[in-house]
Amino acid sequence: MNPSEMDLSARFADEETCAPLDPTPDDQTLQRIAKAVDAVKSDTLFLVHYYQPTWIKKVLQDSGAELVVSDSQALASRGFKSERKTLFCVTVPFMAGSSAILARDDQQVIIADPNAGCSLEASSPPDLVDDMLDHLQSLKIDFLPVCYTNVGAAVKAVVGRYGGIICTSSNAIDAMRWVLDQGKKPIFLPDRHLADNVARELKLEKTAYWQHTRRGGALSEEEIKNSDLVAWTGQCNVHVKTDPKVLLDFAETHKKGHLILHPEVPNEHIFAAVKRLGPKRVGVGSTRFIRDRLDELAQNQPGTAVGIATESNFVRELTDTYRDTLNVMNILRNVCACVHMRTRPESLISALEALQNDQLKGTSYLVELDPDLRSAAKEALERSLSLKSRAFDLDWQ
């Protein structure tokens, strides 16, 4: 089964999604990885998401490999522009799927760990998404879907067939505007909290929540037609653990501190922080925005206390990076590192050695997509590439 199409729902039903921070593997494992990287690096571009463990990035850097470390938007757009013929994705499978959708015909795409996952992807199987959009079409709703990139390639294809657009947390605001400017109703999936935050930013007042586990979304025709926005009810199992009390305690303790929150954090928590600190001391945006905001604070307000709510491996890396300039701290409850998105050392080794020995065919490491599916998904994804990255203004009432 293609990793971008795996049914991951069972993995998220009852399992705790937080885990201790990733340890660095032993020296023997690191040396084996470095040896394999050295053997394949001449024609390989490594695409690594910010959330992946620091030790992986260090091994790749020390090996002299060409790599891009960034957020999902940048990773999706960088691969097909590269002259390298192999795109090696140290990401979760839906990001590798995006790279495969956009890749040139002379490129191959590899996923380092096909068993990595995402609760948002698991919440949005393609058949249920298609059922929702077909139902809305039968009600003669004039809509366009806006789909957060945290879904498999098959869902991206469904969105493409309905004329919709894929977005990231970097450009979700402009993606929603793209629909509104056409006079159509946006249907946002799969993250209800990102939908809520974008809706509040754009002053959309009535959201109808499509309960994806219930027939007809548990919504009446009247509720759908009277809404400004219909939102799928998935959520990130890490960011939803943000504790509003911790946010307010931070604001009380650090009178001149700043909070930086990922837009998958629930809207009511972000709104409470904005009310307490004011919009100038709260930032909401993608992982790349988080890094850019820290760079700005380090330059202009050194020594500032900065609380960050996102995946904890990434925050630990930021804490180390800015140790001499900022007091960066993790404010996610339980110091939450997503247990599902990790690239396991043993899988990384297997993928690298399969590439080195030309043994990828028939393995789950090679991302292969049906041509028709890829074509439909590409339409939706390419619409996103022209949008601007934009942080939230937080002029919220």
Beta sheet of 66-70, edge-to-edge order: 66-70, 44-49, 86-90, 108-111
Residue of 238, 239, 1, 217 lying closest to 124 (CA atoms): 217
- Taking the C-alpha atoms of residue 61 and residue 65, their distance in angstroms, rounded to an integer, is 6
- Taking the C-alpha atoms of residue 4 and residue 151, their distance in angstroms, rounded to an integer, is 8
Summarize pLDDT for 159-176 with one digit per residue, the tens. Answer: 999 999 999 999 999 999
Q: In the chain, which stretches have pLDDT less than 50?
A: 1-18
CB 147 within 8 A of CB 189: yes
User: What is the model's pLDDT at position 334?
Assistant: 57
Residue of 256, 296, 263, 277 lying closest to 392 (CA atoms): 263
SS3 284: strand
Cα 306 to Cα 251, 283, 352, distances in angstroms: 10, 10, 37
Could you tell me the domains of the chain? 3-116+342-368 (3.40.50.10800), 121-236 (3.40.50.10800), 239-335 (3.40.50.10800)
